[in-house]
Amino acid sequence: MYKNFFKRVFDFLAALIGLVLLSPVFIFVSIGLYFVNEGKPFFFQARPGLNGKIFKIIKFKTMNDKKDVKGNLLSDAERLTPIGAFVRKTSLDEIPQLINVLKGDMALIGPRPLLPQYLPLYNEVQMRRHEVRPGITGWAQINGRNAISWMHKFELDVWYVDNISLILDIKIYFLTIKKVIIREGISQEGQVTMEGFNGNN
């Protein structure tokens, strides 16, 4: 009952309240990023959601679009702006995803939505992470986030799918707050974010 009904009701109400309470922060960060990103404070990207259905995720834009002389985007580290680095470290870049939660694209808690090009690379078990709505945070995020391997992350995602409960979601919620405060697992060692998934081989 919780997984199929009450979880969605709770997500909608919590996202609505969250957007209202965080509106001053939302506006302040939007203005700051508007100026450093040439009028583009938000980042939109296609991501697979429930049952692999594609939706547009909304995040604060933490990297600019600067390119080299050949027209190729510079590395993530070179494009990460100072305010973008702060927004990323404090996880404020996740706030706009509350809009995705209101729309029903996402949940507060669930496997993180990755990239569409990863879909054909999953094995049958890994694909099960799409049996639920993706989340702003999840079991993998409080157990290593970007600092763990892809294989371990997928194992944690599928474990969550099989063990969803109100108590588990509450636990993940409070542990996420702890992770944000201590800024743990934001990136892999030597990387600004995390290296892309290249399959199981």
CA atoms within 13 A on the CB side of 170: 4
* pLDDT, the chain, mean: 90
Question: Would the pLDDT of 201 be above 70?
Answer: no
Averaged pLDDT for residues 154-168: 97
Per-residue model confidence (pLDDT) at position 113: 96
Q: 101-157, pLDDT tens digit by residue?
A: 999 999 999 999 999 999 999 999 999 999 999 999 999 999 987 778 899 999 999
Distance in angstroms (rounded) separating the CA atoms of residues 173 and 109: 7
Please compute the mean of the pLDDT values over residues 51-67 and round it to a whole number. 93
| Per-position DSSP letters for 127-167, written without gaps between them | GGGGGS--EEE-TTGGGTGGGS-HHHHHHHHHHHHHH--HH
CA–CA separation, 141 and 194 (whole Å)? 13
Instruction: Say yes or no to pLDDT of 11 above 90.
Output: yes
Residue 31 backbone phi and psi in degrees, to 5: -65, -45
> pLDDT per residue over 22-54, tens digit each?
999 999 999 999 999 989 999 999 999 999 999
Q: How far is CA 54 from the centre of its chain?
A: 15
- Return the exposure string of 53-64: e unless at least 16 CB atoms fall within 10 Å of the residue's CB, then b: eebebbbbbbbb
Which pTM was predicted?
Answer: 0.87
Structure tokens at 155: 């194992």
Between these two residues, 146 and 89, which has the higher pLDDT value? 89
User: What pLDDT sits at residue 193?
Assistant: 56
Residue percentage of the chain with pLDDT more than 70:
94
Q: Which residues have a Cβ under 8 Å from the Cβ of 108 and sit 6 or more positions away? A: 10, 11, 14, 15, 101, 135, 136, 137, 169, 173
Task: Please say whether the beta carbons of 189 and 111 come within 8 A.
Answer: no
Q: For the chain, how many helices (H) and strands (E)? A: 7, 4
Mean pLDDT, residues 76-95: 89
> In the structure, what pLDDT confidence band is assigned to residue 185 with cuts at 50, 70 and 90?
low
Choose between 189 and 96: higher pLDDT. Answer: 96
Choice among 63-67, 126-130, 140-144, 181-185 with the minimum mean pLDDT = 181-185
pLDDT computed for residue 190 by the predictor? 45
